[in-house]
Amino acid sequence: MKFNNRVPQDFFCASGVGHSDVAINAGSLQQARQDAGIADCNLLFYNSSFLPIGAKEVKFPSREMLPYGSVLESVIASAHAREGERATAAIVYAHLRHRELGHDCGGIICEYSGALPEDGAKKELERMFLDIYEESYQDQYEYEEMKFIVKSALAEKRYVSVFVSICFLSGSFQEQALVDCDRPFLGMQSLFDEAKNILIPVAFDSTSSWLKGSKFAPRAILHASTVLEDFNIETGSVVSKHGFHTMTAISKEEPEKMLDHVERHVSRAIKHGKTPCVIGGNHSVTIGAFRAVHAEYPDVSILHLDAHTDYRDMHQGSKYSHSCVMRRLSEKCENIVSVGIRSTSLEERSLLKMEKIFYAADLMKDEEEWFDEILHQLDPDVYITCDLDVFDPKEMPAVSTPAPGGLSWSFINGLIKKVAKHHNIVGFDVVELCPNRYLRAADFSAAQLIYNTFAYVNHYKK
């Protein structure tokens, strides 16, 4: 089993002063570490100092948490002086937060060792911090409150040592598992600013009600995409000319946190004039995506491609279940057009607008006629959410909740193409693939559907 690097997490701050007539290392420095409460620990020093993502400060640990010989990974500043002279050691640190997405991006740590008084050391640290921040991080990140750890003392004996440190108590290993999205779509990665097509992988399935495994779908789809031909026959276009940018995968287990992250990513894409595609994960991810879409396009309609109505108010104790997604979206959007439906409950049926429901059984003939009827129900701006179980299982067998009697590949692609030609598709998602190593064709089909949709949008976009 492979693991990524260990990432330090919880940390505490320690500082101390020591005086000695004997020596520095075995004298005043040891006393400073004793004063700091960590003399019995083995310290591993970091040469380059960055605060890891998710790191948080905790109170000074009890003796039981730091038994003799404990190893502490540490950021350290220390200074020494002779009798009558001053020694000052100081550290400043602050968390960084992404300006647009709002999430924690780690932080900057700077150290000072010298002879300045405390106020002078703080000013020097602030200058160092801002120099690093303005040079490398200012465009994308804002920093939170600067926090200082400072010790300064005049030598009362032959030597004085001052010592300050950030000591990490814990760390995490993240398994390099099948949720890691380690390849960009089509194997091509343009810069965000240069790409029109933005892919947002969301490895989430904690609210799935039957088969688990859709959290592995983003990786499976991205891997399959690398063998697609970069050419769409119907439009005669090479879609990569418009640029693909695959964002870092979202893999939060808690629904609320996941939805917040999806909303921020989709909002960023839309505000920059991009077309976002969210790759699920189960259907719950659509809730976060549509929040962002609705904020920019309040009159947007939804084309809902699915075998199920997904209109429950609560399912298995969660209002964010994949069985509740369209109910949540209906709280913001009045015009939801559902296509391919062949499964619902009595509770849900009583809430549906039947003129907006297109049952799979009715769509098996006269495709063009049905296309016109479906498009007639849509508003100019359209968001498409595609649960892959809308397809018949013989065409898309690896899904979380398969249902027989589904729609064909040609019907779904033909419908999306026609919507792109006559409406403004502002974004879309493809969800509920449940990868199966014996049914890898489904991974490829999902990737092809995403590619085709981008091809139609880019070709017909006005």
Residue 415: strand, helix, or coil: helix
Please check the confidence at residue 233 and state whether its pLDDT lies above 90. yes
CA distances from 164 to 14, 200, 244, 429 (A): 6, 42, 46, 50
Tell me how far apart the alpha carbons of residues 446 and 401 are, in angstroms, rounded to a whole number.
16
Residues in the chain, how many?
A: 462
CATH 3.30.43.10 is right for the domain spanning 7-172 = no
pLDDT at 24: 87
pLDDT mean over 122-151: 94
Tell me how far apart the alpha carbons of residues 424 and 415 are, in angstroms, rounded to a whole number.
14
Tell me how far apart the alpha carbons of residues 400 and 339 are, in angstroms, rounded to a whole number.
18
Instruction: Kindly list the domain boundaries of the chain, sorted by start residue.
Output: 7-172, 185-460
Q: What is the mean pLDDT of the chain?
A: 91
pLDDT at 5: 66
Please check the confidence at residue 2 and state whether its pLDDT lies above 50. no
pLDDT at 117: 96
Give 355 or 316, the one with higher predicted confidence. Answer: 355
Return the top range by mean pLDDT from 34-43, 210-219, 387-396.
387-396
pLDDT mean over 94-103: 83
Please check the confidence at residue 138 and state whether its pLDDT lies above 50. yes
Residues 6+ apart with CB under 8 A from 177: none
pLDDT confidence bin for 330, thresholds 50/70/90: very high
pLDDT at 180: 65
pLDDT at 328: 94
Give 271 or 25, the one with higher predicted confidence. Answer: 271
Please check the confidence at residue 95 and state whether its pLDDT lies above 50. yes
pLDDT mean over 319-345: 92
Please check the confidence at residue 8 and state whether its pLDDT lies above 50. yes
pLDDT mean over 19-23: 91
Tell me how far apart the alpha carbons of residues 165 and 123 are, in angstroms, rounded to a whole number.
19
Backbone φ and ψ for 230, nearest 5 degrees, come out as -85, 65
pTM of the model: 0.68
Q: Determine which of 101-115, 198-212, 415-429 has the lowest per-residue pLDDT on average.
A: 198-212
pLDDT digit string (tens) for 342-401? 999 888 888 888 889 999 999 987 778 899 999 999 999 999 999 999 999 999 999 999
Please check the confidence at residue 264 and state whether its pLDDT lies above 50. yes
Cβ–Cβ under 8 Å, residues 52 and 106: yes
pLDDT mean over 75-97: 95
Q: Is 37 left (phi over 0), alpha (psi -120 to 50) or beta?
A: left
pLDDT at 1: 41
CATH topology of domain 185-460: Arginase; Chain A (3.40.800)
